[in-house]
Structure 1
Amino acid sequence: MAFDAFHLARIQFAFTVSFHIIFPAITIGLASYLAVLEGLWLKTQHLHYRTLYHFWSKIFAVNFGMGVVSGLVMAYQFGTNWKIFSQFAGSVTGPLLTYEVLTAFFLEAGFLGVMLFGWNKVGPRLHFFATCMVALGTLISTFWILASNSWMQTPQGYRIEQGHVVPVDWFAVIFNPSFPYRLMHMTVAAFVSTALFVGATAAWHLLRGRKDATVRTMFSMAMWMLLVSAPLQAFLGDMHGLNTLKYQPAKIAAIEGHWKNTPGEPTPLLLFGLPDMQRETTRYAVGIPALGSLILTHSLTKQVPALSEFPAGDRPWSPLVFWSFRVMVGLGILMILLSVWALVNRRNNRLFAHTWLLRFAVAMGPSGLIALLAGWVTTEVGRQPWVVYGLLRTKDAVSAHSTLHMSLSLLTFIVVYCAVFGVGYHYMLRLMCKGPEQTDTADTGSQMHGTPARPLSAAISDKE
């Protein structure tokens, strides 16, 4: 791959989206988690639910702010680095992103202040309503963003006029063939990621000797959520794969590292190997006969399309998507293993005392976000060489910038992002390591004595 302006523009967008996507994932999961915590607090009046709400609301606030900033940068890149794409498909992607702002962002912004600062200023039911509206806003935002991105994967409901896309059926545009699967897959991925780092935080404090109700509740809720969401995610991933096989068979062939079909033989599943785009083979392949056909076609006789069946210029870069997919699946298996292990220890009354389980939970803390990034690499690189699948090639969508211009802007992004968002990540980790207040006594009061109301005040109080 030559590092010309085109490839540097792709790297720049991949870099910024990799930073950004972590924030919405945490926001989606934490917003719903906060709504559940406050609902349980209102129902039971158990103090540890309220303590957990205030603890995670600080982390949510920091994460939400960084997500908004990083998202704005991405939006500007469509106009600066991908002008041809904006001109070609802006009549579809522009309105969809506008709907996201008019519905989700305004809803979140309108109730966020009440949620973060209105605990002692509005009634408990109104505050709970504000928390639910913020959670709903994150899900609505996911709906519109995934509708736009899914249309780029499986476009429909349009016609081409004078070299531009013109929408003719907005229902078909929004509910394009891959949208339902990708929406559910992304939403559940956010819940899985949240369960993992919430569980890792609780496990960290359990290993350090904290056994109070707040930490135990945090770990227990995280493991229950993981037990439900991790197997569900595997099921949704299978459905998504079948949909991708139907509409983007070249992506599946690249993911599988599958180059040639032997007449009359089902397709094997390659576990490991090194796809070679020049030699058109996967070297050192280790596979299981017929399992590829069974998983992808649910049949032992049907074959999966091979990469050699597609023109060389239409093939995704298999070496990257082959391994990014396996990272995602491998981590998914470990997530299911963690949830089942936690269930076994729960039945044996050792959920909070099994040292190796807690260490495994801590180690798995970032795995949900890593799997999320690996999944997006698989999805987006697997779509190449198309930016709008089958309609506009990525190399034809880039703005006319010089290599020097793109090099300097990429370097600037790397320095600024690592400095600004690196500090944000570090601060969130500090809050997580600090942990919630210990609450083992019953309390039905409405005040939260000793708990900082502002996210940054937690760090100040930690130094005092």
Structure 2
Amino acid sequence: MDTEILARIQFAFTVAFHYIYPPLSIGIGLIMVIFEGLYLKTRKKEYEILTRFWLKIFAITFGIGVATGIIMEFEFGTNWAVYSKYVGDIFGSALAAEGLFAFGLESTFLGILIFGWNRVSPRVHFISTIGVFLGSMFSAVWIVVANSWQQTPAGYHIVGEGMEARAEVTDFWAMVFNPSSVDRIIHVWQGAFLAGAFMVLSVHAYYLLKVRYTEISKKAFKIALSVATIISLTQLASGHSSAEGVAENQPAKLAALEGHFEANEPADMYLFGWVDKKNQEVTGVKIPGGLSFLLDYDFDTPVKGLNAFPKDEIPTQINAVFQFYHIMVFIGMFFIGLTLYASYLWWKGKLFERKWLLRIFAFSVLLPQIANQVGWFAAEMGRQPWVVYGHLRTNQAFSQEVSSNQILFSLILFFVVYAILFLLFLYSVDKKIKHGPYEEAQNPDEFLKYT
């Protein structure tokens, strides 16, 4: 197989696997802050027990996330040497900030969080919980800033020519607040909050279905449902803002997301469909002029289509970009419907009477993960053929000396190691869930009040 394709597959695999864990850390961190804040306010023991229980799952997730994230930095040097040289100054500043201001904050407070229950005051412990949560959020900020710069470069100039060319930062804050970074950071945070909230919903729906820990699970379920409902609704706004930014800064990507080929015609919005790139047709259910209306509030507004761009400057896998994007949108809309319906039942006092709804929530833990993954696939594949949009092509960015056999061998090894790590993660989390939150009650007699 071609060296470039193998290098892309390897990096996509390692990033996708790693990205299972950071969103869970951020989302569970938010829920822990709420649980422990309620404990400090009410002094009700069940909130402390919930915090202790979810801290164990958070720690497992955090550890696996760190282990799987380190390998990507080595891949930059081994497989993408030209890219690393080109963006080294940009990525170096962002990743250094991530290490200093985010990972340091998160890991330091995590030690207090895990080992400080009986060694520091409840307020200090709560501050540590907030510190861990903010550290995980700041970590996402700097990673997304670095990636967003690839999408919409700003605050730099190019030094050198040809293979010696590299980007240097001229305005650090312009680089940080490049045209797409704020929208994408907010959207990533929201996806992470949903991943954590639906993890909590899934576990406590499972307990309710098994009639275990019912009282404490009802409290946890309602808190996570509140978070999921609010974030599902607000994600509409961030998604719309992101789409407007793509329309302005990456119009070829926007055209690929909706399978819009006509150079200067009103663009339809598809609910679902299939793109025939050869015949430049999309078969599916659409809202005529829907994309035009979303961008300009006019169904007849022309939108730049794929035919308006040179063929070597548009994504090659248009149907894949289209499908990934629409899967993400469908899951987002499903979240809105599901959480609003559950919130309505809560208001009516019938939330826990629908066993079929609890079953949906028990399996719903998979959906935020799928939405996060396909969202990133759409964003990154839609940027092609550029690795730095408008400046450096992907086929120019990989290492010239590495062979396809070397990449294939390391890809197989990564797959084996990551499969083992994933099985260990599932085993460890499953063990904690089966043991339940009662382990976290210091006095076993207190457990009886929460079952």
Scaled by the length of structure 1, the TM-score of the pair is 0.91
- Once the 2 structures are TM-superposed, how far is the Cα of residue 296 of structure 1 from its aligned partner? 3.0
1:271 aligns with 2:271: yes
Deviation at 1:433, TM superposition (A): 4.1
Is the 1:321–1:378 contact (alpha carbons within 8 Å) kept by the matching residues of 2? yes
8 Å CA contact retained: 2:87, 2:166: yes
Q: What is residue 149 of structure 1 aligned with on the other side? A: 147
Q: Which residue of 1 aligns with 2:334?
A: 334
Match of 2:398?
A: 398
Displacement, 1:290? 1.4
Q: Does 1:231 align with 2:229?
A: no
8 A contact 2:207–2:214 mirrored in 1: no
Where in structure 2 are the equivalents of 1:10-25 lying within 5 Å? 10-25=8-23
Supply the distance in 2 between the matched residues of 1:424 and 1:396 (Cα, whole angstroms).
37
Shift of 1:262: 6.8
Aligned 1:355-374 pairs, distance under 5 A: 355-374=355-374
Counterpart in the other structure of 1:168:
170
Aligned positions of 1:159-308 closer than 5 A: 159-162=157-160, 163-210=165-212, 212-261=214-263, 266-277=266-277, 279-308=278-307
Paired residues of 1:197 and 1:365 also in contact (CA < 8 A): yes
Secondary structure in structure 1 of the residue aligned to 2:302:
coil
Letter in 1 for 2:442: M
Instruction: Write the distance in 2 (CA, Å) between the matches of 1:93 and 1:261.
Output: 35
| 1:95 positional shift | 1.3
- Cα distance in 2 between the residues matched to 1:175 and 1:30: 27
Residue of structure 2 equivalent to 1:97 = 95
Q: 1:395 to 1:261 in 2, by over 3 A?
A: closer
Q: Measured at CA, do residues 286 and 50 of structure 1 come closer, stay the same or move farther in structure 2, by a change above 3 Å?
A: same
| Partner in structure 2 of residue 79 of structure 1 | 77
**1:298 offset after TM fit, Å?**
2.5
Secondary structure in 1 aligned to 2:19?
A: helix
Deviations 1:324-366 (A, max 9, x none): 1111111111111111111121122111221122112123221
1:259–1:280 contact (8 Å) kept in structure 2: no
* Aligned-pair CA distance for 1:37: 1.1
Matched residue, 1:421: 422
SS at match of 1:165: strand
Query: Could you give the per-residue CA deviations for residues 166-212 of structure 1, whole angstroms, max 9, x where no partner exists?
Result: 11111110100001100000001111111112111111111111363
Q: Which ranges in structure 2 are unaligned for 5 or more consecutive residues?
A: 446-451
Deviations 1:270-303 (A, max 9, x none): 23332233x1513434322111211233222212
CA contact (8 A) 1:386 1:392 kept: yes
Q: Which amino acid aligns with 2:69?
A: G
Opposite residue 15 of structure 2, the aligned amino acid is V
CA RMSD of aligned residues (A): 1.7
Per-residue deviation, 1:29: 1.0
Q: Secondary structure at the match of 1:304?
A: strand
Distance (whole Å) between structure 2 residues aligned to residue 431 and residue 207 of structure 1: 17
* CA distances 1:18-44 after superposition (whole Å, capped 9, x unpaired): 111111101111112212211111110
Contact 2:150–2:388 at 8 Å: present in 1 too?
yes
Inter-partner Cα distance in structure 2 for 1:211 and 1:67: 29
What is the aligned partner in structure 1 of residue 433 from structure 2? Answer: 432
2:137 matches 1:134? no
Question: How far apart are the structure 2 equivalents of 1:366 and 1:298?
Answer: 34
Unmatched 5+ stretches in structure 1: 440-446, 452-464
What corresponds to 1:348 in structure 2? 348
Answer with 335-344 or 281-290: which moved more. Answer: 281-290
Separation in 2 of the partners of 1:363 and 1:261?
Answer: 43
From the superposition, tell whether residues 450 and 294 of structure 1 become closer, same or farther in structure 2 (CA, over 3 Å).
same
- 2:108 and 2:418 mapped to 1: Cα distance? 28
Letter in 1 for 2:293: L
Q: Which amino acid in the other structure matches residue 399 of structure 1?
A: S
Query: Take 1:420 and 1:350, find their aligned partners in 2: how far apart are those partners?
Result: 40
Which letter maps to 2:237?
Answer: F
User: Which residue identity lines up with residue 299 of structure 1 in the other structure?
Assistant: D
Structure 2 counterpart of 1:313? 312
| Alpha-carbon distance in 2 for matches of 1:438, 1:421 | 24
Alpha-carbon distance in structure 2 between the residues aligned to 1:343 and 1:125: 32
What SS is found at the alignment partner of 1:437?
helix
1:450 CA drift (Å): 5.7
CA contact under 8 A between 1:315 and 1:385: conserved in structure 2? yes
1:85-111 CA-to-partner distances (Å, cap 9, x unmatched) read 110110111111011101111111211
More displaced 10-residue stretch of structure 1: 361-370 or 266-275: 266-275
Find the aligned partners of 2:216 and 2:125 in 1 and give their Cα distance.
Answer: 21
Distance across 2 between alignment mates of 1:429 and 1:320: 34
Q: Residue 411 of structure 1 aligns with which residue?
A: 412
Displacement of 1:438 after TM fit?
8.9
In the alignment, which residue of structure 2 is the partner of 1:461?
none
- Secondary structure at 2:117 match in 1: coil
Q: Alignment partner of 1:337: what SS?
A: helix
The separation in 2 between residues aligned to 1:308 and 1:73, in whole angstroms, is 39
Are the counterparts in 1 of residues 264 and 308 from structure 2 also a CA contact under 8 Å?
no
**1:21 & 1:80 partners in 2: Cα distance?**
21
